[in-house]
Structure 1
Amino acid sequence: MTDPQPVRRFLVHDRDLGRRHALLVEEASAEAAAVAYAEGLAALDGAEISLIVRDLDDGCEHCICLDLETGETADCA
């Protein structure tokens, strides 16, 4: 049995909309935080969304591209 990953706090926002639309998300990884953020949005246009995910514990910031149809994540280009 493996130990579950510790929950971390992330601040997530759409790269195009800016930080005023940021949400605090608690998840085990930056990728999981991006998916959780997108699941909470009412309506999304397009096949993918680029999200800025900032780890509030260590300050690292990631740009994650989320495919809205498959849920797959990748680093932004």
Structure 2
Amino acid sequence: MSNAAANDDRRFSVHADHAGRHHARVIHEPTFEAAAVAYVEDLAIAPEDDEAIRVIVRDLDGGGEHCFRIDLETGEAAPCA
């Protein structure tokens, strides 16, 4: 990763909705969606009865919170309904 890309990263607190905030991880990524996908790729434990996981992403520096539904088979992310 280049220094320019690293400087564009923001700090996000990310957790799986079914696991709760006490399982949150700090993820450095440029966008809310990128942070959600990175969390699922590296850290999340999926619920056993679903093919998707709901991930809550909170911006630690600028504020704001978003929820994404990540399809565990395709890796596609979409806003929670």
Per the normalisation by structure 2, the TM-score is 0.81
Query: Deviation of residue 64 (structure 1)?
Result: 0.6
Unaligned runs of 5+ in 2: none
Percent identical pairs in the alignment equals 53
Q: Whole-Å Cα distance in 1 between the matches of residues 44 and 59 of structure 2?
A: 24
Matched with 2:78 is: 74
After superposition, the C-alpha distances for 1:24-62 in whole angstroms (9 at most, x for unaligned) are 000011111011111113753431100000011111000
Matched positions, count: 75
C-alpha RMSD of the superposition:
1.8
Off by >2 Å, runs of 4+ in structure 1: 41-46
Greater share of helix:
2
